[in-house]
Structure 1
């Protein structure tokens, strides 16, 4: 059965679970080579869990700079570096951020609500709360000096070559800084790991910046948008009729922060009866996989108590989100504070998308300060 995601995530020509999609050119972009679109949960998981067949390495025509990022590496290099980062990002280190995250969410909400109530009664919940909340949490985790945090907004937009160059260049500066001035943060721990070379560190730190900024921002705003669009679900959550932990998972399923993940076939293979040739692009639609009727009962219904909930919004396999625990903590705390501060979560205008074809973000989230 073909998954039935929300209309904005449907693939226009997806007549089966794995189907070839052409990439026609546009006014500002030449035609692409085309790709295999993967929409079924089982196929998506298979692709993400099999790096020997479906490689993360950048292909011809992709930015050479991507080869410096851990997210575009394959095992065994990827496995070794990821293990070092995972040992630094311990559950205890993540849990220590709970108090800081809560104080930050409360402060941002209080300021935004006060300003809105003194003007037109409308606040942009993304621009004034969830965006700075997620960016500053990551800055604390990585140990970015306060003077450098003004750089964060330029890295949360589309990551073109200039943004990637700027980010990787800054990562080198941050590593040098934390070797000279150590602190209790993730960059300090990685920078003082004698088993990591400078080149390897320059893969890890930009990865943590790229995967921790825009996707986390989009997950937070996307979850709040979903709750605003489902007032009864918000009411039940506020009355503690639903468990917040399961709600976090369902909001991630419903509004994945990343829409697609691209891989390249490393060898000739077969996927759901389709012959995939070596070097073919294979694009997993996380939004479609998260609405697969073979896996999720009533997938087009928001169910904050849904369990189990094997969504793929945080990835799967070797590239499962390294900061998944940190992401869940941030979302849980943010939603708790919004539920406490706003008896009703009501949209106050249209919610424009961010315009990216890969991330699932919103440009603004106007709500009533009730």
Structure 2
């Protein structure tokens, strides 16, 4: 039996749904000014849905480069740019991509299983299957040339923002010269977007489509591996895959929290929030709010309704939410087909990130 780590949504120093948290220094980081931790679903929604009171603009001490990302913009600039990106991410584009994603998942699983069975019978379902599956899907969607795809793993590291911002210029120029059926081509030929605006959108699609999607996919599989009865129910058709995707996202959000800055003096759950205060919404905690979710610590793949916040809410609801759900559903269906039993073969170590909710590896038995 693999020991389960303590739930990461529990905040040991959060005595109330909204509470002030100190930020002590570490050997490589000076002390911070502190922040308001928001852990209740209703309060989280209020913060995420009110950009006039809670701004997404980078706060003091954050990298100025963040201002170039759509995720760190406020309306009306954010609204205009998001509308252009949303029009490029059409439902029809997603439907056309379904078969490509399915073929990729099957090929990766077949190769990984063959390799494992020829060796010790153990495969790393994260590094061998779900990680390349999600990164190559994004590469196809965005139109990243095959010669550049070796760079994808590096775009999930600490310098991802700098690297992808520099690469965006190259990709935009490339797709202007060599158009194809992909998002970069659609955006690069949009006469309403300036070069600077394109360099906000493309890095956002790269950074939010790589690490969070990778972590959601592997994290959901890890949850299923830790709950064999739920896996069997899903395999046997007792549970609808679309509902299962939502519950796995609730249990394992790809981002643990999101940060906002108070744009004005305001009030939240009886606490006075001052202009400039940092406000951190714990998505993991909000997803376990017993006021909203019955038995929140129980995995219920048929849970409905399931208003989790793992893909955000309000103006910054995940741009590619539908595409993310499609990828996850297809991946889980193909894993269910290839592996009648999903049995862990060792510990599932976390990635170690303080922000994303990833797993470093997911060792399972090939059967």
Q: Provide TM-score, normalisation by structure 2.
A: 0.98
- Alignment partner, residue 20 of structure 2: 20
Q: Write the mapping of 1:168-207 to structure 2, written as runs, cut at 5 A.
A: 168-207=165-204
Residues 134 and 216 of structure 1 are in contact (CA less than 8 Å); yes or no, is this contact kept in structure 2? yes
CA distance in 1, matches of 2:59, 2:234: 45
Q: Write the mapping of 1:250-329 to structure 2, written as runs, cut at 5 A.
A: 250-329=247-326
Note the C-alpha offset of 1:7: 2.7
- Alignment partner, residue 248 of structure 1: 245
Q: Write the mapping of 1:312-351 to structure 2, written as runs, cut at 5 A.
A: 312-351=309-348
- Alignment partner, residue 131 of structure 1: 131
Note the C-alpha offset of 1:8: 2.4
- Alignment partner, residue 147 of structure 1: 147
CA distance in 2, matches of 1:220, 1:60: 33
Aligned residue for 1:301, secondary structure, equals coil
Q: Write the mapping of 1:78-89 to structure 2, written as runs, cut at 5 A.
A: 78-89=78-89
Deviations 1:3-44 (A, max 9, x none): xx9632211211110000001001111111110000000000
Aligned residue for 2:170, secondary structure, equals helix
CA distance in 1, matches of 2:47, 2:352: 27
State how many pairs are aligned: 363
Aligned residue for 2:43, secondary structure, equals helix
Residues 6 and 300 of structure 1 are in contact (CA less than 8 Å); yes or no, is this contact kept in structure 2? no
CA distance in 2, matches of 1:341, 1:359: 28
Residues 8 and 284 of structure 2 are in contact (CA less than 8 Å); yes or no, is this contact kept in structure 1? no
CA distance in 2, matches of 1:251, 1:183: 34
CA distance in 2, matches of 1:6, 1:284: 20
CA distance in 1, matches of 2:106, 2:33: 48
Q: Provide TM-score, normalisation by structure 1.
A: 0.97
Aligned residue for 1:96, secondary structure, equals helix
- Alignment partner, residue 236 of structure 1: 233
1:213 aligns with 2:210: yes
1:364 aligns with 2:366: no
CA distance in 1, matches of 2:264, 2:84: 29
- Runs (5+) with no aligned partner, structure 2: none
Deviations 1:290-316 (A, max 9, x none): 000000001010000000000000000
CA distance in 2, matches of 1:163, 1:87: 26
CA distance in 1, matches of 2:59, 2:297: 35
Q: Write the mapping of 1:78-117 to structure 2, written as runs, cut at 5 A.
A: 78-117=78-117
Residues 101 and 137 of structure 1 are in contact (CA less than 8 Å); yes or no, is this contact kept in structure 2? yes
CA distance in 1, matches of 2:168, 2:331: 28
Deviations 1:145-182 (A, max 9, x none): 0000011000123xx3x332111000110000000100
Residues 218 and 359 of structure 2 are in contact (CA less than 8 Å); yes or no, is this contact kept in structure 1? yes
CA distance in 1, matches of 2:149, 2:12: 40
Root-mean-square deviation (Å) = 0.9
